[in-house]
Structure 1
Amino acid sequence: KEWSCCPENWISFHSYCYFISTNDKKWTESEKNCSGMNAYLLVVHSKDEQDFISQKVNPKFAYYVGLSDPERKNNWQWVDQTPYNESATFWHPDEPSQPSDGCAVLLYRSSPRKWGLNDVRCQETHKSICKMMKIYL
């Protein structure tokens, strides 16, 4: 039988582990923080995963995810090289909205009441979510 686990203070969902930061950092600092833990900023692959994460984070905060538009040309890219599929990405309505905003956060909006992605300036400081494969023993 296979055993899998996540590091201490990480949460488990399917074959992945997630770490929700409590510190505010810029996007690049958040990315470095995740890679320093052998992880990467959150890449969302399914509605189930989005729903799971949304239940674990605080609606008062925004959380950096691993989606950015480095050249500010509406050419969004996931940090793990997963192909970007706009229709499978959970943007809030009318997002991304600002060409000058090159990074994505997961945030809660009260109208309509739901979690989704929003574009922000990468220099803003927010919490973040890291993701890694589970450790199999």
Structure 2
Amino acid sequence: MAFINWHITLSVIIVVTIKVTGTTFFLLYLPQIFPPVLERSLNSTSTEKSITAPSLSPTTFEGNFKYSTTENSRTGCPIRWDFQDGKCYFFSTNEENWNKSQSWCLKEGATLAVINNSDEQRFLKYRARSEVYFIGLQYNLSQRRWRWVDGSEDIEITMSISPPEFDCATIGVSDEVEPSSCEISHRWICEKIAT
């Protein structure tokens, strides 16, 4: 009669059960933890609003990544855009330099985010968490002043360095808006009026 070591057999069964359960939960919740960036597409770089039945999903493209989208009818913002105080904000997951970031926003009918008050700055900082995002603020060296992409010069924000060492601005990591090189790749925040 063969001798069976029940301790080893029981340990193997427990380990296999835990691995199968963990893998199942990982695969089940992967799209919620990481937005669906698994499908690649080179066809478009525009955000499409839903014009079909709710069961069908048009797509949004960010760079080469395709996302499922529908319009959020309560806010007038496309999916993956956050609504706050009558505006829609898009927080990218890709990284580009400042000029490419602004170009992407313009293709979406938006601009890089313009901070109009301390509440908006707190919202963007809270939403950015520990990531660094470009916003629509650049330093004009010849005029020696900061200027928003909408042409305004009113800056009612907290900045960390003045005069700046760099010519673009980011939000994230710290509580203040920080200067950054326009050529470094960062994530970006687009802003447009909700429809």
TM beyond 0.5: yes
Cα deviation 1:75-125 (Å, max 9, x = unaligned): 21100112333xx12212x34431xx111111323xxxxx21111111000
Alignment of 1:89 onto 2:157: yes
Equivalent in 121, 124, 133 of residue 181 of structure 2: 121
Deviation at 1:36, TM superposition (A): 0.7
Equivalence for 1:62: 132
Mapped partners of 1:48, 1:67: distance in 2: 17
Equivalence for 2:168: 103
Helix, strand or coil for the counterpart of 1:28?
helix
Q: Which sections of structure 2, spanning at least 5 residues, go unmatched?
A: 1-73
Mapped partners of 2:149, 2:82: distance in 1: 20
**More RCO (CA 8 Å, sep 6+):** 1
Structure 1 residues 39 and 18: CA distance shift in structure 2, 3 A: same
Mapped partners of 1:8, 1:27: distance in 2: 23
Structure 1 residues 73 and 81: CA distance shift in structure 2, 3 A: closer
- Structure that is richer in strand per residue: 1
Equivalent in 124, 131, 136 of residue 191 of structure 2: 131
- Structure that is richer in helix per residue: 2
Cα deviation 1:32-78 (Å, max 9, x = unaligned): 0100100000100111111112221131x211000002436532110
**Which amino acid in 2 is paired with 1:30?**
S
Q: Is the 8 A contact 2:139 2:145 kept in 1?
A: yes
Alignment of 1:42 onto 2:109: no
Mapped partners of 1:29, 1:123: distance in 2: 10
Equivalence for 1:5: 76
Equivalence for 2:98: 27
Helix, strand or coil for the counterpart of 2:89?
strand
Aligned length: 122
**Which amino acid in 1 is paired with 2:164?**
S
Equivalence for 1:76: 146
Mapped partners of 2:129, 2:140: distance in 1: 27
C-alpha RMSD over aligned residues: 1.7
Helix, strand or coil for the counterpart of 1:25?
coil
Q: Which sections of structure 1, spanning at least 5 residues, go unmatched?
A: 110-114
Q: Normalising to structure 2: TM-score of the pair?
A: 0.58
Mapped partners of 1:107, 1:12: distance in 2: 18
